[in-house]
A and B are shown apart, each in its own frame.
Chain A
């Protein structure tokens, strides 16, 4: 009896949790005017293709999606590589400046990046990077969180394996690429998902950097849509749905890596 009540409460909460998604889908498939009719629609309608065409016409949403995907992919690949390399260097080598570098990594995790907004903005302006893709990719490639995550992973990596690689005559780079990286695939997977998600959702920096519509990423485009004098609410909901779709799919496919990426080794040790 008590269990049944707890279950009902948990299920009710889950419905509350999911309902905005459901509504987003319903709204994306209706005519904009119907969303505020009385009563509001509760079931999906038949206007999906029409809304898609409108959204494409107002802001070229397919281009926005492509921009978001490719900038996020480029950022993720480069950033994961930089993080993994740095994490490996910090974990497996003793060298001058190692302590200082580790200190910087920890400091960047504690200092909110908004402190950098103004000088970074000026820096981008002075090198002519405003309104370019590299402005939203390059400055945040060294990701302290990722470095820390990878360092934790490499700390547990047995030195004997590195030694045996050396005995076989492999160079440091080859050992890293052939032996070390494949062994930390789970952590790397978590890092990749986490980094992709961060870049996909990034708002304030792309908002400052990207001025021309043809370079908008998804969050910037959505913000731009609300600012229009005539807001097309159905299009807005469709855009929100498309913005959420990739991460939702990744989440459903890779729940385990997703969660460990968000936890970021917080529970370890």
Chain B
């Protein structure tokens, strides 16, 4: 009985608040409440979803972020981590803290700040740049704004994780590379990067999951608009489930997101996770 004294509370909580809703959600995803009564929709629910222009647009939007923002951000974080790890860098601790600060801001708070900074009429960004860009109401610029704010929030966070990985690389390996006459770029590419592989994997998987679950920023920054230009699957889930009260349809959206996260994580694991021979 003693082991269950320790593990029991968590197990009970998982059973009630995870296992049961998870099963319920799957059953629900096969039901529709169209027309007021609960009816079985089966796979038809998913067929309807995959023909829904708003949902497809939300997938395109996150795909865009996955293809453009995630690699750029992780590349940026790698360079940052490498630079912040240099012993000759003055005010190193201050610089590190400055880069990490965005990671501790409340998501909603920073989205609110960006919303005010990017205001078209008299917003500070337009004024400083001397332009009249309609950041949040033009489909193209709204995406740019969303991508820029996510990058601002998460690049430093990834840099700190990569930095911790860099610090695990032994001093002697840099020295060995230096003796072999490798420049800093070669050392970085041939010695450092291969050892960072697991950490890069961690960053890319967490960023992928974060992107597919994106909600706070588009909700506060643009509300998914204009049109569906910054709509994300989870924001759509929120609208469908809690504004239109089509619970079954919302559950189906969630399960597509689960499948995508599983699939993409698996692919990344295969790609980055393999050992170097």
**Interface membership of chain A positions 32-45, coded 1 if the CB is closer than 8 angstroms to chain B and 0 otherwise:** 00011111100000
| B28 pairs with A119, CB closer than 8 A | yes
Does chain A have a CB within 8 A of B261?
Answer: yes
**Interface membership of chain B positions 110-139, coded 1 if the CB is closer than 8 angstroms to chain A and 0 otherwise:** 101111110101111001100000000000
Task: Name the interface size band of chain A.
Answer: 35 or more
| B7 pairs with A85, CB closer than 8 A | yes
How far does the alpha carbon of A20 sit from the alpha carbon of B88 in the complex, in Å? 28
Does chain A have a CB within 8 A of B202?
Answer: yes
Given A85-B6, A95-B3, A13 and B103 touching (CB < 8 A)?
no
| B108 pairs with A219, CB closer than 8 A | yes
Residues of chain A within 8 A of B254, CB atoms compared: 112, 114-115, 117-118
Does chain B have a CB within 8 A of A161?
Answer: no
Residues of chain B within 8 A of A24, CB atoms compared: 113
Residues of chain B within 8 A of A90, CB atoms compared: 7
Q: Which of A49-57, A120-128, A184-192 contacts B (4 or more CB under 8 A)?
A: A120-128
| B106 pairs with A247, CB closer than 8 A | yes
- Tell me which of A17, A21, A39, A219 contacts B127 (CB under 8 A): A39
- Chain B min CB distance to A238 (Å): 11
Tell me the nearest residue of chain B to A248, going by C-beta: B104
Residues of chain A within 8 A of B202, CB atoms compared: 266-267
Residues in chain A within 8 A of chain B (CB atoms): 3, 6-7, 9-11, 13-18, 20-21, 23-24, 27, 35-40, 82-83, 85-86, 88-90, 93-95, 97-98, 101, 104-105, 108, 110-112, 114-123, 138-142, 147, 172-173, 176, 197, 200-201, 203-204, 208, 218-219, 222-223, 225-226, 233, 236-237, 239-241, 243-244, 247-248, 250-252, 255, 258-259, 262-263, 266-267
- Tell me which of B104, B121, B164, B216 contacts A197 (CB under 8 A): B104
**Interface membership of chain B positions 76-90, coded 1 if the CB is closer than 8 angstroms to chain A and 0 otherwise:** 000010011010111
Does chain A have a CB within 8 A of B107?
Answer: yes
Given A108-B18, A116-B18, A243 and B238 touching (CB < 8 A)?
no
- Chain B min CB distance to A269 (Å): 10
> With contacts defined as CB atoms under 8 Å apart, how many contacts are there between chain A and chain B in the complex?
269
| B216 pairs with A112, CB closer than 8 A | no
| A112 pairs with B242, CB closer than 8 A | no
How far does the alpha carbon of A39 sit from the alpha carbon of B11 in the complex, in Å? 58
Tell me the nearest residue of chain B to A37, going by C-beta: B122
How far does the alpha carbon of A18 sit from the alpha carbon of B98 in the complex, in Å? 6
Best-surrounded residue of B14, B119, B123, B261 (most CB of chain A within 10 A): B14
How far does the alpha carbon of A116 sit from the alpha carbon of B127 in the complex, in Å? 43
Does chain A have a CB within 8 A of B10?
Answer: yes
- Chain A min CB distance to B228 (Å): 18
- Tell me which of B14, B109, B128, B161 contacts A240 (CB under 8 A): B109
| A10 pairs with B95, CB closer than 8 A | yes
| A27 pairs with B25, CB closer than 8 A | no
Does chain A have a CB within 8 A of B156?
Answer: yes
| B213 pairs with A223, CB closer than 8 A | no
| A243 pairs with B10, CB closer than 8 A | no
Residues of chain B within 8 A of A38, CB atoms compared: 122, 127
How far does the alpha carbon of A267 sit from the alpha carbon of B202 in the complex, in Å? 9
How far does the alpha carbon of A267 sit from the alpha carbon of B164 in the complex, in Å? 8
